[in-house]
Structure 1
Amino acid sequence: MGRAGAAAMIPGLALLWAVGLGGAAPSPPRLRLSFQVSCPAELQAWHGLQTFSLERTCCYEALLVDEERGRLFVGAENHVASLSLDNISKRAKKLAWPAPVEWREECNWAGKDIGTECMNFVKLLHAYNHTHLLACGTGAFHPTCAFVEVGHRAEEPVLRLDLGRIEDGKGKSPYDPRHRAASVLVGEELYSGVAADLMGRDFTIFRSLGQRPSLRTEPHDSRWLNEPKFVKVFWIPESENPDDDKIYFFFRETAVEAAPALGRLSVSRVGQICRNDVGGQRSLVNKWTTFLKARLVCSVPGVEGDTHFDQLRPFPAEDVSLLSSRDHRTPLLYAVFSTSSSIFQGSAVCVYSMNDVRRAFLGPFAHKEGPMHQWVSYQGRVPYPRPGMCPSKTFGTFSSTKDFPDDVIQFARNHPLMYNSVLPIGGRPLFLQVGANYTFTQIATDRVAAADGHYDVLFIGTDAGTVLKVISLPKGSRPSAEGLLLEELHVFEDSAAVTSMQISSKRHQLYIASRSAVAQIALHRCAAHGRVCAECCLARDPYCAWDGVACTRFQPSVKRRFRRQDVRNGDPSTLCSGDSSRPALLEHKVFGVEGSSAFLECEPRSLQARVEWTFQRAGVTAHTQVLAQERTERTARGLLLRRLRRRDSGVYLCAAVEQGFTQPLRRLSLHVLSATQAERLAGAEEAAPAAPPGPKLWYRDFLQLVEPGGGGSANSLRMCRPQPALQSLPPESRRKGRNRRTHAPEPRAERGPRSATHW
């Protein structure tokens, strides 16, 4: 059995994780931007973050970007909102759409909470035509759909409920507000994956609206759907003939093919149906005759000899993003997954090719046979036309699924599962985070034209209210690639989980929804990467380039002589060799007391940089590297020197090393004074009369750093902060409410945690 078959039939063998992976530290972002506990408006001021929320309203799950009207439509609890794509905080219009009182009372009588469940949670929004949207909500466990008039003109936004076109939402919207809605509107037909009953037991793939008959999957047949949770639905053309078009469903379910010893195993699936399916003539009447499903594998292969976690559960899919290519028939599929076990927590992004998906559906069918009822590859005769093929002139002579022979229909009913799985491009995840204090929940993708090619940029939402910006970089020979984490942006101050994300390519904006609010942020923050060419180049952000003066938005159509960008390698040694924008390093004086401690602050802008310290003793021309020893401790914020000695006096140079490029950051001159000198200076200061205005004496700078009572410690010596730079605030300092201007950071062995860095 090949790897694909083994992965589908024996999940434990497909997920071969090395022991060291479970303890691996999560990849740090290059930049981490977050709210400051005491100043939540900083991200709005510096990076254009905008937010929107309605009073006494929650659960902003449905987002619809309308580029033509310049509006963002939002579905929430009892409301539909229309926001400006340029600034969601301005020109907002809201439409109240609560559930009728009698429905709420009926919901409450059924044992549901009238304050949290018996509401109309708007779950889906689709552009229906040039003037109306289709909106569907839970309706207090009474699913309902309506058409919302949005008008023709972008200059005069309209938002009005069409009361004459309210209809039953069963099969379109879930009953339960905890269930996700997955659907796509193609023409006037709605394809949705949803629970079709009040108890949430009859899950189905349903077609409604339009002129063709309504169809659904076979009910209460675990071979078709087994407790599924639908994630996304896409319409993807198969050929130039529209009769070959298919709808693809992404969901996770309990695997019927798992060995009993593994227990209940959740797996990710991709399912397909033909758009022109109209059901069978004598069997599968009003049911799908072209439904097939295959497993999506997202795992890390092990190496022989490693210790493997055979019982480790796979990454169940949380979200899928479709990224179109020049050929609209072969988009890339980016999927985020997460897993939680007794060994570790992890999240991953896997990328799939549509050609690999189609290849799995053209492969062998899974079949259960033998005394042990094992799942094997079906080796018998497959009837013609092959189950799963659409009736069209491209592949046969059948004009309708009602013309399919009975043996085709019967085979399709009994064999919906494919034996081969769909493996990710490169055979492993593109991006993996293990041991992080968050899990991936959503993903949105954008293809960006840069100076050295096109790059896919991923925006990954987490359950901690953050968004990760990851770029897919070629690795060796194509199609292998690896993900590089560029930014971690703390979007929601309350750390609410990200529930939905949409991109406006025209406006270069990202829209993020959570339970508490909707947020808007630009796809790029070029100025945050730095003020010199090397920093801009090292950022490897395809949206940004150095224009000779600043790090600014890269536009391929603009021809400028000094635009410098190297996304693939991030090597500034050549591009920035003639750059003279970096000012000369000023030498800062630092004073310490013999036998006490001194903290030399230096923090690089990039969290992925390595800091190196060199020391030049007074009167000596040679520089020596500062090594970790008993009296020296490197922290994320700088260098801590304990039990100072007179010979520690000298010049300390701090430099950041990233991608093999060394960048000097700070030059600090340390003067170690004896205790007697420090006391003499302190006494002189107390006895001295008030000094007239004029140049300040050097020792008064030192005395301002010494706390009353002498002693001296790491907390009594504090350098001025680099101006400006991205800094990490230790969590213990935030909890104790320390004054950041008078206290040095506590020694730490790693960088600040999530939500700890700000301007």
Structure 2
Amino acid sequence: MAPLPAAQAASPSACPPYRQTPRPVKVYVTSHELKATGTAHFFNFLLNSSDYRILLKDEDHDRMYVGSKDYVLSLDLHDINREPLIIHWPASQQRIEECILSGKNSNGECGNFIRLIQPWNRTHLYVCGTGAYNPICAFVNRGRKAQDYIFYLEPDKLESGKGKCSYDPKVDTVSALINEELYAGVYIDFMGTDAAIFRTMGKQTAMRTDQYNSRWLNDPAFVRAQLIPDSSERNDDKLYFFFREKSADAPLSPGVYSRIGRICLNDDGGHCCLVNKWSTFLKARLVCSVPGPDGIETHFDELQDVFIQQTQDTKNPVIYAVFSASGSVFKGSAVCVYSMADIRMVFNGPFAHKEGPNYQWMPYTGKMPYPRPGTCPGGTFTPSMKSTKDYPDEVINFMRSHPLMYHSVYPTHRQPLVVRTNVNYRFTTVAVDQVDAADGRYEVLFLGTDRGTVQKVIVLPRDDMETEELMLEEIEVFKVPAPIKTMTISSKRQQLYVSSAVGVTQRSRRQDIRHGNPIRQCRGYNSNANKNAVEAKDNSDRRKELRVEGRVLRTEQGLLLRALQLADSGLYSCTATENNFKHTVTKVQLRVLSSRAVHAVLVQAESPPGLPG
């Protein structure tokens, strides 16, 4: 499928036939209820700060590093409110005044918004902030081990943040620090017009994408950067960038495309037109769409967040991506899952090329220069070439004019894993956890929304190769609702960390899943962390737990009461308990007309199946 123009715009009749409403087993937990469970901690007591956007988890030091306006924080992973270490790092008063005079403080932007925190070595972090529209970077000493209780800025190691951190705090910066070299997707000018994928620091040559070349980057919004090896040969290693950008062909196509781009880590740049510029940069379109009954796809075009789920094979992680749609036809969000095999197949396929009387996008069919554009020097296919500077002119010229792949990357099974339409919110972030249950391993999705909630979702396989979504709960994680900015999971500590403009929340994320059936849960098919009970309520309004013994038997269909008595009449409740939070899953009213008439009765739930907790 040609990347441009895109699939036709969806019409109301083309709304996806996909299951948009998950099974109704959800529990809605307010921030007040969440606080009452004792399973959550809220950090937001810096009165003069905001925008807690950057989270870096450090399992070795048992710390969570947080970047906000004018502050860098080191929080205890076990309890984020316990003895926080705080660095106050505002912009200078002179710089703030200059920023205000330039007219950039309409929404309080003239502060030092921390936008980059990367581990430098065992003892130091590398941290950058917007510096009141004058980016600045520094090293932070965090000590060698957690017991050191050290956290301070190295005052003699301040340096310019240009090419490392954006000027504008509203513009996200993505980065990866690899072998003491910083790779960043960033806007590098005061006016926010020059976007680049930059490499600074380290021993290699400083490098960037071709400047003001809309074929390479067209007003991008960077989302994620991730190193993913291609093979056992380190010279093949590539850094992948996830971003969205404006279409260069509007109004013939959607206004925004989602992209996955990549570069070789050992790219030294080219010659002629690509001196100190990437000579291996390629990009492809990421498609997240639902096929309609009339063949027209409903697209979610705006990439919002990416989560990389590592596997035993470091070359083949699973990629979860959150998209939104904001067109005039419909609004919604979706989660799509991609495999590295599909991504590599697209990058190994034909290049996009414009030709013909209408200057249309076509697959390039001319002679391919050697080595193939985008190939890393000294790698599996180019062992004799030690540097991209050795590449022939035809390779360099081809790369500059053909950065786009012709085919798009489609999700697994060619459809989203989760879809939401006709709702009053959008997904903003995603984090994925793996939970072991008696019948296998499940992947639990935590989906942050722009209304300040986190949805907890699992997707179960079905016999017909389809999937079924179960939304277990939706939680208000902040007292003051604010869009969720970042989420990260500590599987080691069974914790989920969530940030927004108003603070950071830590919450226990443990929850074991079994078939989504409350009757089975209530019959004791559960983990030690999840105790469930069936209670009987008699006419005197006293509650008691119904013991499974003697005349009460467990069956696949429910609880079997033998030798029924008149006293067995009442309301039977199935209650799930997790971390002191109780929720009634279902209730069954039993009326016994005569103890002689019925010798046994099966108590069976009729409510929708599923168990939160």
Q: 1:46 to 1:611 in 2, by over 3 A?
A: closer
From 359, 362, 369, give the equivalent of 2:355: 369
What is the CA-CA distance between 1:296 and the residue it aligns to? 0.3
Q: 1:546 to 1:612 in 2, by over 3 A?
A: same
From 271, 274, 282, give the equivalent of 2:264: 274
Tell whether the 8 Å contact from 2:230 to 2:237 is kept in structure 1 after alignment: yes
Aligned to 2:449: 462
From 44, 56, 63, give the equivalent of 1:64: 56
Alignment of 1:254-265 (within 5 A): 254-257=246-249, 260-262=251-253, 265=255
From 286, 292, 309, give the equivalent of 1:323: 309
What is the CA-CA distance between 1:456 and the residue it aligns to? 1.9
| SS of equivalent to 1:656 | coil
Aligned to 2:137: 145
Aligned to 1:350: 336
What is the CA-CA distance between 1:181 and the residue it aligns to? 1.4
Establish whether residue 92 from structure 1 lines up as the match of residue 78 from structure 2.
Answer: no
Cα deviation, 1:693-730, whole Å, max 9, x if unaligned, reads xxxxxxxxxxxxxxxxxxxxxxxxxxxxxxxx99xxxx
Tell whether the 8 Å contact from 1:537 to 1:546 is kept in structure 2 after alignment: no
From 44, 65, 82, give the equivalent of 2:35: 44
For 2:259 and 2:160, locate their aligned partners in 1 and report how far apart those are by CA, in whole Å. 29
What is the CA-CA distance between 1:656 and the residue it aligns to? 3.5
For 1:532 and 1:375, locate their aligned partners in 2 and report how far apart those are by CA, in whole Å. 54
What is the CA-CA distance between 1:436 and the residue it aligns to? 2.0
Establish whether residue 252 from structure 1 lines up as the match of residue 238 from structure 2.
Answer: no
For 2:452 and 2:480, locate their aligned partners in 1 and report how far apart those are by CA, in whole Å. 7
| SS of equivalent to 1:445 | strand
Aligned to 1:300: 290
Q: Which runs of 5+ in 1 are unaligned?
A: 539-543, 553-571, 590-600, 623-652, 664-724, 727-759
Aligned to 1:30: 25
Tell whether the 8 Å contact from 2:447 to 2:455 is kept in structure 1 after alignment: yes
What is the CA-CA distance between 1:609 and the residue it aligns to? 7.7
From 116, 119, 122, give the equivalent of 2:108: 116
For 2:353 and 2:584, locate their aligned partners in 1 and report how far apart those are by CA, in whole Å. 50
What is the CA-CA distance between 1:100 and the residue it aligns to? 0.8
2:30 aligned partner, one-letter code: F
| SS of equivalent to 1:45 | helix
From 418, 421, 428, give the equivalent of 1:434: 421
What is the CA-CA distance between 1:382 and the residue it aligns to? 1.1
Establish whether residue 656 from structure 1 lines up as the match of residue 612 from structure 2.
Answer: no
Tell whether the 8 Å contact from 1:28 to 1:608 is kept in structure 2 after alignment: no
For 1:123 and 1:102, locate their aligned partners in 2 and report how far apart those are by CA, in whole Å. 21
Aligned to 1:545: 526
Structure with bigger helix share is: 1
Tell whether the 8 Å contact from 1:80 to 1:122 is kept in structure 2 after alignment: yes
Q: 1:79 to 1:255 in 2, by over 3 A?
A: same
Aligned to 1:420: 407
From 179, 204, 218, give the equivalent of 1:212: 204
| 4+ runs deviating over 6 angstroms | 22-25, 529-533, 575-580, 601-622
Cα deviation, 1:531-579, whole Å, max 9, x if unaligned, reads 98733689xxxxx934599259xxxxxxxxxxxxxxxxxxx95498799
1:466 aligned partner, one-letter code: T
Identity of aligned residues (%): 42
Q: Report which structure shows greater RCO (CA 8 Å, sep ≥6).
A: 2
| SS of equivalent to 2:321 | strand
| SS of equivalent to 1:43 | helix
1:330 aligned partner, one-letter code: N
For 2:386 and 2:100, locate their aligned partners in 1 and report how far apart those are by CA, in whole Å. 49
For 2:561 and 2:108, locate their aligned partners in 1 and report how far apart those are by CA, in whole Å. 59
1:238 aligned partner, one-letter code: D
Q: 1:242 to 1:576 in 2, by over 3 A?
A: farther
| SS of equivalent to 1:321 | strand
For 1:43 and 1:144, locate their aligned partners in 2 and report how far apart those are by CA, in whole Å. 38
Establish whether residue 502 from structure 1 lines up as the match of residue 493 from structure 2.
Answer: no
For 2:257 and 2:303, locate their aligned partners in 1 and report how far apart those are by CA, in whole Å. 8
Q: Which runs of 5+ in 2 are unaligned?
A: 534-553, 577-581
From 435, 453, 468, give the equivalent of 2:440: 453
Cα deviation, 1:258-302, whole Å, max 9, x if unaligned, reads 5x444x520100001000001013330000000000000000011
Tell whether the 8 Å contact from 2:332 to 2:421 is kept in structure 1 after alignment: yes
Tell whether the 8 Å contact from 1:266 to 1:314 is kept in structure 2 after alignment: no
Cα deviation, 1:345-370, whole Å, max 9, x if unaligned, reads 21110000011111100111001111
Aligned to 2:181: 189
What is the CA-CA distance between 1:484 and the residue it aligns to? 2.6
**Which protein is bigger by CA-based radius of gyration?**
1
For 1:531 and 1:244, locate their aligned partners in 2 and report how far apart those are by CA, in whole Å. 47
Establish whether residue 12 from structure 1 lines up as the match of residue 3 from structure 2.
Answer: no
What is the CA-CA distance between 1:201 and the residue it aligns to? 0.7
Aligned to 1:130: 122
Q: 1:472 to 1:526 in 2, by over 3 A?
A: closer
For 2:505 and 2:358, locate their aligned partners in 1 and report how far apart those are by CA, in whole Å. 54
For 1:517 and 1:214, locate their aligned partners in 2 and report how far apart those are by CA, in whole Å. 36
What is the CA-CA distance between 1:158 and the residue it aligns to? 1.1
Establish whether residue 179 from structure 1 lines up as the match of residue 165 from structure 2.
Answer: no
Tell whether the 8 Å contact from 1:498 to 1:514 is kept in structure 2 after alignment: yes
| SS of equivalent to 1:484 | strand
| SS of equivalent to 1:163 | coil
For 2:17 and 2:53, locate their aligned partners in 1 and report how far apart those are by CA, in whole Å. 33
For 1:211 and 1:409, locate their aligned partners in 2 and report how far apart those are by CA, in whole Å. 23
What is the CA-CA distance between 1:343 and the residue it aligns to? 3.4
Alignment of 1:145-164 (within 5 A): 145-164=137-156
For 1:15 and 1:391, locate their aligned partners in 2 and report how far apart those are by CA, in whole Å. 43
For 1:426 and 1:531, locate their aligned partners in 2 and report how far apart those are by CA, in whole Å. 27
Aligned to 2:391: 404
For 1:265 and 1:67, locate their aligned partners in 2 and report how far apart those are by CA, in whole Å. 41
Q: 1:578 to 1:184 in 2, by over 3 A?
A: farther
Establish whether residue 287 from structure 1 lines up as the match of residue 282 from structure 2.
Answer: no
Aligned to 1:697: none
For 2:530 and 2:189, locate their aligned partners in 1 and report how far apart those are by CA, in whole Å. 62
Equivalent pairs, count: 581
From 324, 331, 342, give the equivalent of 1:338: 324
2:95 aligned partner, one-letter code: W
| SS of equivalent to 2:146 | coil
| SS of equivalent to 1:164 | coil
| SS of equivalent to 2:175 | strand
Establish whether residue 168 from structure 1 lines up as the match of residue 163 from structure 2.
Answer: no
For 2:326 and 2:332, locate their aligned partners in 1 and report how far apart those are by CA, in whole Å. 7
Alignment of 1:495-534 (within 5 A): 495-525=481-511, 534=520
Q: 1:291 to 1:303 in 2, by over 3 A?
A: same
What is the CA-CA distance between 1:610 and the residue it aligns to? 8.6
1:292 aligned partner, one-letter code: L
Cα deviation, 1:17-61, whole Å, max 9, x if unaligned, reads 75554998643662324227xxx3x32231511010111210001
Tell whether the 8 Å contact from 2:570 to 2:589 is kept in structure 1 after alignment: no
Tell whether the 8 Å contact from 1:609 to 1:656 is kept in structure 2 after alignment: no
Q: 1:476 to 1:183 in 2, by over 3 A?
A: farther
For 2:442 and 2:517, locate their aligned partners in 1 and report how far apart those are by CA, in whole Å. 24
For 1:293 and 1:342, locate their aligned partners in 2 and report how far apart those are by CA, in whole Å. 28
For 1:329 and 1:23, locate their aligned partners in 2 and report how far apart those are by CA, in whole Å. 31
Establish whether residue 235 from structure 1 lines up as the match of residue 259 from structure 2.
Answer: no
For 2:569 and 2:432, locate their aligned partners in 1 and report how far apart those are by CA, in whole Å. 45
1:9 aligned partner, one-letter code: L
| SS of equivalent to 1:437 | coil
